[in-house]
A = this chain, B = another copy of it.
Amino acid sequence: MDTIARAKHELYEKHAGTIKDAVNAIHSREFYAKYVETPSKRVYGDTAMGDGLKSYQSQLGNDFPLRQIADQGLTSAEESPYTLEKHNITYPSFKDPARYIQEADRVSNSWCKADVYTRAGILTESLERISNRFFELCFATMHTTGQGFMMAFQASGPHSNDRALEAIALGLNELTRFPEKAEWVKPMGRDKEGNKMFVKLEKRYLPVPIGISLCIGCSTFPVWNTVPAIYASLITGNPVIVKPHPMSIYPIALVIAELQKTLQDNGFDAEIVQLAVDTPDAPITRQLAESPSVKLIDYTGGNSFGAYVESLPGKRTFTEKAGINSIVLHSTRDVKAMMQNISFSLSLYSGQMCTAPQNIFIPKDGIDTPDGKLSYEDTVAALARSVEKLATHPKMGPGTLGAIQSPSTFQRVADSRESGFKIIQESLHIENPDFPKARIASPTILEVPASQFEALSTEMFGPIAYVIPVDDYKEGVAIARDLATNHGAITFASWCLDEDAQNYMIDEMGQSYTSVAFNFVGPIWANQSAGYSDFHVTGGNPAGNASLTDPEFVLKRFEIVGVRIHH
């Protein structure tokens, strides 16, 4: 074994225990996390936060260092939703996007031929390196997406790293699920002397990668929604081109920088994963997506571009698009805890999550509580109060809401005042003392009749929620199911103490391929999805055609070619 080969093998050995733990967690679906989700000094060191902030600040206005080949620098349009200032970061790029394809083609053979344990070792090592930059990643995420500090740290740091590790582990598991070689011995009866006869074949099973993988990112979760795809394609041997959202490049560029360093340090080309940036004025995504060499496309974003991606012939696509998530209220043992939970789900990152609830169905005759029926009007009032209380809480408010990523989302909140629907709760202007210019809007709640199907079936991305009075919970479930089936949904939540009603909802929403959450109170929210345990998106309704990270998410990225040798 030469030195490089040994080094690669050692990287796998170094991380074998971690990968095994991850594979076990994937199959037990019990809680597991390799990366600590709290930005704790004990874990990350006393200076980690300050160092991360300094790195972030010194990156602004400067060239972003990557190892990939490039022929120009492109200064991005990124700006902070907190300061409304441009970052002026310049990324290495190609004048002609076709050059990314050429580079990916050039390096693909070395990566495709690297054995899977080598790939697993290098990829897991890159996660370790990324974890040393979690705080810079956190600030980069805050100031592109508008996420609050804690969310930005968790979503782009430990949670993303764990989702990446999940993809590596499941990928390795599927790649090695069938033996590399088998001896196939078929009995063929007996010869004239009565001796048993056999045909014997040596068989081999070669996993062959599918081709260049294009990962198209979104503006709100530039890392969490992109790393599973990057690592799933890489572990299965495909070179990757990452085309981030033009307003959210910096966070994923950090991930790619560490990946490129780890690749190069282990004798591979940096271009096995390339960053391909563009600006809102001069998009390059279609040109990349339509290249015949691009075989795999992962996409997170709006419906119309998602439909375009899915319709491209000759591609295997993995999409996460928009959906309409619903809540149905039925009964609770603690109205206040329930309302706190719902209002946090609506307020977290100002509802700019694909998993955030939008339509809240409430029976007209109210909900069951330990004190008897709480009327529809009182239920709605309790929700509005809870949302306002969280938003105006001096400590909790700004940190939970974060900032609004795009001016159009901000405008949508303003426009919703003119929708003609009854305003239950106004969106408030909240001051963030640290960022006085921040683009902030607390959730608004409107009351929409169940008959207004057009409104209910339109996704209102951002801090806009509807309460919908219904005859009974079944009417709410029926509408929620219909919306999920025809317009997509990722989550469904209910507060319901009745087991028959729960089973009814599981059955109905299950048939629209929507995950179901019951009675969440305290520090657990329906719009969160846990690596190794929750399959994010089912792939069965219009909200997306793939699931993070189920076996198909990695299996579609390679095929097994059989070899039979008669000796």
Contact residues of A with B, CB < 8 Å?
27-31, 38, 174, 177-179, 182-189, 199, 201, 203-206, 208, 210, 311, 313, 502, 506, 509-511, 513-524, 526, 530, 533-535, 538-540, 547, 550-552, 555-556, 559-567
Contacts and interface: CB of A to CB of B under 8 A. Distances in A.
A223 to B, nearest CB: 21
Contact of A552 (B38, B516, B555): B555
A519 B566 CA distance: 5
Contacts of A311: 313
B205 A563 contact: no
A174 to B, nearest CB: 7
Given A174-B551, A516-B562, A535-B560, A530 B210 contact: no
Main secondary structure of the interface of A (DSSP, over half): mixed
A290 to B, nearest CB: 17
Contacts of A203: 29, 533-534
Contacts of A522: 199, 566
A540 B526 CA distance: 38
A559 B533 contact: no
A205 B555 contact: no
A540 to B, nearest CB: 4
Nearest to A202: B518
Identical subunits present:
2
A210 B560 CA distance: 25
Nearest to A510: B561
A564 B513 contact: no
Contacts of A516: 561-564
B533 A182 contact: yes
A515 B561 contact: yes
Contacts of A563: 506, 510, 515-518
Given A552-B555, A566-B518, A540 B208 contact: yes
Given A513-B561, A516-B561, A538-B562, 16 more contacts: A27-B177, A31-B185, A182-B533, A199-B524, A208-B540, A506-B563, A513-B559, A515-B561, A518-B563, A518-B565, A519-B566, A524-B566, A540-B559, A551-B551, A551-B555, A552-B556
B538 A559 contact: yes
A31 B210 contact: no
A448 to B, nearest CB: 27
Given A201-B524, A510-B208, A522-B199, A515 B29 contact: no
A377 B516 CA distance: 70
Contacts of A208: 510-511, 513, 538, 540
B189 A38 contact: yes
Contacts of A187: 31
A239 to B, nearest CB: 14
5 contacts: A30-B185, A186-B524, A201-B524, A516-B561, A550-B560
